[in-house]
Structure 1
Amino acid sequence: MSVTSLSEVREGTLDYRQEREDLACAFRWTARLNMHESVANHFSLAVSDDGTEFLVNPYGRHFSRMRASDLLLLNAKEENPEGLGDTIDPTAFAIHSAMHRNNPQARCVLHVHSKYSLALATLKDTSMPPIDQNTMRFYNRIAVDTGFDGMGLGDEAERLSTTLGNGSVLLLGQHGVVTVGETVAKAFDELYYFEKACETLITALSTGRELNVASPEVAEKTAQQWENYPGACEKHFAALRDILDEEEPGYRS
């Protein structure tokens, strides 16, 4: 694919500029929160109506250095795009192509192996009991894949993409987590709070003391309050962009 020059970016001619800037912001904040892993893990954002054309991070670019112009525009219907294994991460292309083809409602797809989400994913019992406000956010709202069969290539990617359902969180057993949303802000907010919920749960379990589990009624009530809270994820993400605009404005280039 052609590379857009920095002059074009600065003049505002970069295709999907807003989408690129939002995704670049998500990458940089994921690195700031230490939820990334080496130059692995990947985020994507659909830009076509049917979800088959999507932006994704290039192979080898660190999350903390991601810029709007770095993001690749790929097509989920291609089988062997040019640059696969070089500029395109094979696992990223396989997983995100399948996710966008099979889940058109999942406009933004974020996949990481973050510390506490991965810790939960390694347990035989991957349930998340409602023990605080954050864990209650995900009450009966987590899809779990228990059929890990490799790194997400080929048939594994297709299988993973069919386990999400209508939810926004997919815990990949022995692998990591995927969160999705209609926008980058929504998907990132889910990722942020899911990792916080997992941190609380793993920390509480580490004490060896009995968990104080809320009733189903309270847990469901709280989850619905999360869903109906006005503008929370948008305000969260806008605040993150404001910080980067001041401290790391290069993410927009």
Structure 2
Amino acid sequence: MKEAANPADDLNGTELQNLRLDLAAAFRLCAQMNWHESVGNHFSAAVSADGKRFLMNPKWRHFGSIRASDLLLLDADDTGVMQRANAPDASAWTVHGTIHRLRPELRVLIHAHTPYATALSVLKDPSMLPLDNNTARFYGDVAIDTDFGGIADQADEGVRLAAALGNHSCLMMGNHGVSVSGATVAEAFEKLYFFEKAAQTLMLAYASGQPLNVLSHEVAQKTAEGWHDYRGMATAHFDYLKSQLDKTDPSWRN
């Protein structure tokens, strides 16, 4: 897909390349963790300040094969994008394109069907209950959408999901999976990482059949706020994981 000239509010060349690298690494890491869905699911990252220009993975490309140069640079205002030979996946275009256009502050958006988060999403009440440090990390930051209507390929679904997110950074998509957002790829990936760990804890606790010892509002809120001091973990963790990718298959950098 031909990339248009960068408007003034786009990232500069070096910043754009670094964003490509980080997003490609996120795909590879999710493949390693078995968080991919065949050749489906999509991650995107805004390039322009208004969110309309964004990077996203190409249609039906396995996460384990994605390189930095493979990522599509798209424009949410481009009405002809779906008529081109290398058009993105229709559902990804309608959802990610619309959310980035309507919610430019959400710089990186990751949608995945990770096992435990997806299992939690199919419960009648898919709330992330605060039980420990990891589950309480998300206290007050998870919107819940229970209006699943099948595979989304209409623009109004993107509008609905953007509204459903509200002022939260995570969206539990009932009967579907989870979407998380972040200011950087590292932050969004870390959010997905901990969301899946938290969902695992909650689902295993449910499976025990024993009563859950849910934290009080005060303790849950204090714990969630306490995580703010650990924001630097995301970059440190992501940098380590990228270094391990380089040892096994550095082709993601191409």
TM-score (norm 2): 0.91
Within 2, Cα distance between the matches of 1:197 and 1:75? 34
* Match status 1:236 vs 2:224: no
Deviation for aligned residue 1:80: 3.6
The equivalent of 1:22 in structure 2 is 22
The equivalent of 1:220 in structure 2 is 221
Within 2, Cα distance between the matches of 1:111 and 1:221? 28
The 10-residue stretch of structure 1 (103-112 or 162-171) with the greater mean CA deviation from structure 2: 162-171
The one-letter amino acid paired with 1:202 is M
Decide whether aligned partners of structure 1 residues 227 and 14 sit closer, same or farther in structure 2, where only a CA change above 3 A counts: closer
The equivalent of 2:171 in structure 1 is 170
Within 1, Cα distance between the matches of 2:245 and 2:209? 40
The equivalent of 1:160 in structure 2 is 161
Whether contact under 8 Å (1:60, 1:87) holds in the other structure is no
Give the secondary-structure state (helix, strand or coil) at the position aligned to 1:153: coil
The one-letter amino acid paired with 2:188 is A
The equivalent of 1:201 in structure 2 is 202
Whether contact under 8 Å (2:148, 2:173) holds in the other structure is yes
The equivalent of 1:68 in structure 2 is 68
Deviation for aligned residue 1:37: 0.4
The equivalent of 2:41 in structure 1 is 41
Within 1, Cα distance between the matches of 2:50 and 2:253? 26
Decide whether aligned partners of structure 1 residues 216 and 56 sit closer, same or farther in structure 2, where only a CA change above 3 A counts: same
Identity of aligned residues (%): 48
Deviation for aligned residue 1:81: 0.4
Extract structure 1 runs of 4+ deviating beyond 2 A: 82-87
Whether contact under 8 Å (1:28, 1:66) holds in the other structure is yes
Within 2, Cα distance between the matches of 1:206 and 1:228? 32
Deviation for aligned residue 1:84: 5.7
Q: RMSD across aligned C-alpha pairs, in angstroms?
A: 1.7
Within 2, Cα distance between the matches of 1:101 and 1:133? 34
Which segments of 5 or more consecutive residues in structure 1 lack a partner in the other structure? 4-12
Deviation for aligned residue 1:14: 8.4
Give the secondary-structure state (helix, strand or coil) at the position aligned to 2:54: strand
The equivalent of 2:150 in structure 1 is 150
1:195-234, CA deviations, whole angstroms, 9 ceiling, x for partnerless residues? 1100110111011111122222211111111122251111
The 10-residue stretch of structure 1 (199-208 or 158-167) with the greater mean CA deviation from structure 2: 158-167
Within 2, Cα distance between the matches of 1:195 and 1:82? 33
Whether contact under 8 Å (1:52, 1:77) holds in the other structure is yes
Whether contact under 8 Å (2:42, 2:56) holds in the other structure is yes
The equivalent of 1:131 in structure 2 is 131
Whether contact under 8 Å (1:150, 1:156) holds in the other structure is no
Within 2, Cα distance between the matches of 1:230 and 1:114? 23
Decide whether aligned partners of structure 1 residues 143 and 230 sit closer, same or farther in structure 2, where only a CA change above 3 A counts: closer
Within 1, Cα distance between the matches of 2:14 and 2:225? 39
1:138-167, CA deviations, whole angstroms, 9 ceiling, x for partnerless residues? 112110111112212212222112111222
The equivalent of 1:108 in structure 2 is 108
Within 2, Cα distance between the matches of 1:95 and 1:31? 22
Whether contact under 8 Å (2:82, 2:90) holds in the other structure is no
The one-letter amino acid paired with 1:223 is A
Alignment of 1:240-251 (within 5 A): 240-251=241-252
1:71-106, CA deviations, whole angstroms, 9 ceiling, x for partnerless residues? 000011123405568541111111100110111110
The one-letter amino acid paired with 1:197 is A
Which segments of 5 or more consecutive residues in structure 2 lack a partner in the other structure? 4-12
The 10-residue stretch of structure 1 (209-218 or 33-42) with the greater mean CA deviation from structure 2: 209-218
Whether contact under 8 Å (1:189, 1:233) holds in the other structure is yes
Number of residue-to-residue matches in the alignment: 244
The equivalent of 1:192 in structure 2 is 193
Within 2, Cα distance between the matches of 1:49 and 1:86? 25
Give the secondary-structure state (helix, strand or coil) at the position aligned to 2:104: coil
